[in-house]
A and B are shown apart, each in its own frame.
Chain A
Amino acid sequence: MNIDLTVNGKPVSIEAEPLDRLLDILRDKLELTGTKEGCGEGECGACTVFMNNKLVNSCLVPAMHLHNANVVTIDGLRDFDFFRFITKAYEENGAVQCGFCTPGFVMSTINLLRNSSEKNVGDEEIKDAFAGNICRCTGYDKIIKAVRQLLTMDIKVPERFYE
């Protein structure tokens, strides 16, 4: 089937089977390899992307649901101004080790930042925001510190991307 969708602000038209995964379409057809596959069953969050402005595990989204969808990946976000604050906070707090889960954590971070300010976000809310991301290297502590630091800053993250 032919599917028209928008990926990182660009209209694309692709040929895919109905059950092809969004993850494979991004990585193999569109060469957007920033999004990773860790488990293929929606548990680890390494493949997290925005679809119609909501976080989804792209390994669980079949092509047949993609018609007219607006998909935004880490590859489409790294050049936004706010992204350098995220980079700085992750770097300074040592929130990265092997890095394979990191793009997924960054996507969840962006989602948290645009929906919150420090006032309503405690550690429990931070933990809730990353309940769908697994990291095996860091023990999470330094990721939480990076996110806490970001929440204290006045970072302007758009409500929606590429719309």
Chain B
Amino acid sequence: MKEHSEVRVDAASKIAGIEKYTRDLRIKNALVAGTVRSSKAHARIESISYDDNFDWSKVTILSAKEIKNNFVAIIKNDMPYLAEKEVNYIGEPILLLAAENETILIEAKKHIKIKYEELAAAKTLKAAIDRNRAEDLFEEILLENGEPEKTFENADSIVEDIFETGFQEHVYLEPQVVVAIPDGNTIHIKGSMQCPYYVQNAMNELFKGSEIKVDVTQIMTGGAFGGKEDFPSLICGHVALLARKTGRSIILSYNREEDIRFTTKRHPSRIHAKAAVSSDGKILGLDMDILLDSGAYTTLSPVVLARAVLTSFGCYRIPNVRIHGKAIKTNISPCGAFRGFGGPQSLFAIEMLMEKVAKTLKIPVWEIKKANMLFLGDKLPTGQPIDYSYGLPQCVKKVLKSSEYEKKYDEFKKYNENESAKAGILKGIGISLAVHGCGFTGVGENRIKAIAEMELLNDGKVLVKTANTEMGQGVDTAYKIIVSEKLGLPFKDIIIEEKNTSKVPNSGPTVASRSTMIVGKLLLDNCEQILDALSLNDVEFSSQDFKEAAIEYFGKHDSLVVQKEYKHPKFIKFNEDTYKGYGYPVYSWSANVAEVEIDLTSYQVEVKKFYTAHDVGKAINKQQSEGQIQGGVIQGIGYAVYEALSMEDGEVQNRGFRDYIIPTIQDIPEMYVDIVEDAYFNGPYGAKALGELPFVGAAPAVASAVSFAIGKIARKIPLTPEVIATLIENSNYEY
């Protein structure tokens, strides 16, 4: 395939401000919805009372009592749409209100009193661990390989530490918003979301046994990053229930404060990691205890933990491992999907453990990483061989060259010894190797049985039908490139069907960096099916030939609709009990170098330069691929340095962009992006995962650079000035 850097199909409409997002829809005669929430982290609801002096005739109130199937269908179905007898976190929805306008809602909320009987709560991960209750364990995974016990007994040295990562808020620029439009027994749901079929499935469960039918349409989504994967099912239920009750259209639109306080976050982690090391720096064994703070309900925590476990050995050849993961319930707002999905947490731990090994053995960190890096043909601790599409060595070569890492490593050391005190600045350079398992974990893809559909129209155009949503990542444009390349059609003859569950098949959720690799491949198969039907396979043809063949086809037939269901290649198998086998069908890889400066007065870390090389199999759209990489890196730098979500007494303290700081244009480093294309045999034109990987490698590279600068292991992110000050000033800080 030739190189593409196509202009996004939605660029012009977004630049001109004519693209319609959910709040831009003009929904006639709609009521606005609001949520009455728990003010307690864990309590029994004793009573709810409504002030008699308030005019309730203008407000519709909906409580849990009115919901027959009161659970959000996802993995464990443990989260209710509304709490009935017990609340499990501050902010948990208890009542829904609907009224003509926001002002009435605000007033009405002041006239509702909820009495609670407080119950014991675990408001922090530590409290939950100390409490040690079996019922707080959402998921537990053990992956063992080789002889970890013996390896640790016989090791030259054992290096260990505890690594911690914080919450992170997605900060999609468009806050959560969904609408429900009743139409007889049907409720049409529209909104900002990643996965219309997740919502469809949840609505089918919610209204099971009733006459209500639901269809779901994704509207152009203003950023998501995982934040609109699981969460929209909850609020779509809210609007659907209100629409059924009132018979009116309902708009539920979170403002930024509500969004930051009460929507899902990235799981914080606490990881105790131990390496059994030979005197020359070979990692012979790895022992990790991964704890994820999951919040009050299960949501996607079991799969987030699975990815954390399967990412825990990073890009290294480690024969003997014991990886033990736990997703633990706490009484805080539930954590959910976020770009990287457990990977960033455990990759941070393994990369920083490498730093610690290097420091302990007094060997430069890159020597340690190089000595332990996977070779083509090596096996992961799951038994999966890495014997195809392994572009990491090329990434390493490129990034060492572009960054001049080795030269700067010595220069910065000298600078810190001789000049830093005078300049008041410490310099650091860090390196990270990162991996992202492409697509769903384990057998997930075989379970979902994704279907893509393509229809040949009688004017020779094709209609592409998938449920994969455009949220900024450029999937619509990528699909047009894939189809255009195969059918020889111009973009205008390739029409992307609306992401409406009554119009498109379930091609699976838009998550796990799977849309291009899995569904893009199905579309390529669909193209082959169409070419077969037109007798154009294996022959050279022009777009004119295609048109003529289409017209000829419709002379004899009424329609041509082709479908293809995804199945992994036969050898891709995974055992969910032992965690052995192919955790993922293939992996994407990156090598990253960060240069930082730390101001010794303010303790602020500034990332000055960032170099990265990504092996994505094939960059379907070169320019948008770079854009994904740059955006992911900056979000990862935010995770590493700026984004401190403050949780106190079970409650998010941040209220918006004033006190939840994400990188602005003033905070970005100079960026150098290289793309490596080590093709994956089963991806379209060789493409594999892209969207999440850029995030995964960024924070460890920055933390590696910070560790270099201050001479201590930066074992906790975000590295805010407070943490840096503690690291520099407190000699007892290290574990």
Contacts and interface: CB of A to CB of B under 8 A. Distances in A.
Interface of A: 27, 31, 33-41, 43-44, 46, 73-75, 78, 83, 86-87, 90-94, 96-103, 106, 127, 130-131, 133-144
B222 to A, nearest CB: 3
Given A34-B17, A130-B665, A101 B11 contact: no
Contacts of B225: 136
Given A34-B18, A91-B8, A101 B173 contact: yes
A134 B474 CA distance: 19
10 contacts: A43-B658, A75-B17, A78-B17, A97-B472, A98-B14, A98-B173, A106-B17, A136-B223, A136-B225, A136-B635
Contacts of A31: 26
B650 to A, nearest CB: 24
A78 B170 CA distance: 30
B15 A102 contact: yes
B220 A99 contact: yes
Contact of B8 (A33, A43, A94, A144): A94
In the complex, the 6 A-B pairs of residues with the closest C-beta atoms, listed nearest first: A34-B17, A98-B472, A99-B14, A100-B222, A139-B630, A43-B657
A142 B627 contact: yes
Contacts of A106: 15, 17
A98 B222 contact: yes
> From DSSP, what is the main secondary structure of chain B's interface residues?
loop
A136 B662 contact: yes
B568 interface: no
Interface of B: 5, 7-8, 10-21, 23-24, 26, 170-175, 220-225, 255-257, 471-474, 623-624, 626-627, 630-635, 656-658, 662, 664-666, 668, 671
Nearest to B222: A100
Given A38-B256, A139-B633, A141-B630, A87 B623 contact: no
Contacts of B668: 139-141
> From DSSP, what is the main secondary structure of chain A's interface residues?
loop
Contact of B665 (A36, A37, A93, A127): A127
A44 B13 CA distance: 20
A136 B172 contact: yes
A98 B174 contact: yes
A133 B668 CA distance: 13
Contact of B222 (A33, A87, A99, A138): A99
Given A100-B174, A139-B631, A134 B657 contact: yes
Contact of A96 (B8, B630, B662): B8
Contacts of B172: 98, 100, 136
Contacts of A35: 17
B222 A94 contact: no
B657 A44 contact: yes
A127 B224 CA distance: 25
A127 B663 CA distance: 12
Given A103-B17, A127-B665, A131-B666, A39 B633 contact: no
Nearest to A92: B7
A97 B220 contact: no
A75 to B, nearest CB: 6
A78 B472 contact: no
A133 B10 CA distance: 21
Which of B16, B220, B630, B665 counts the most chain A CB atoms within 10 A?
Answer: B665
Contact of B221 (A98, A141, A144): A98
B631 A138 contact: yes
A158 B658 CA distance: 34
A142 B668 CA distance: 12
Contacts of B171: 134, 136
A31 B5 CA distance: 35
A36 B256 CA distance: 13
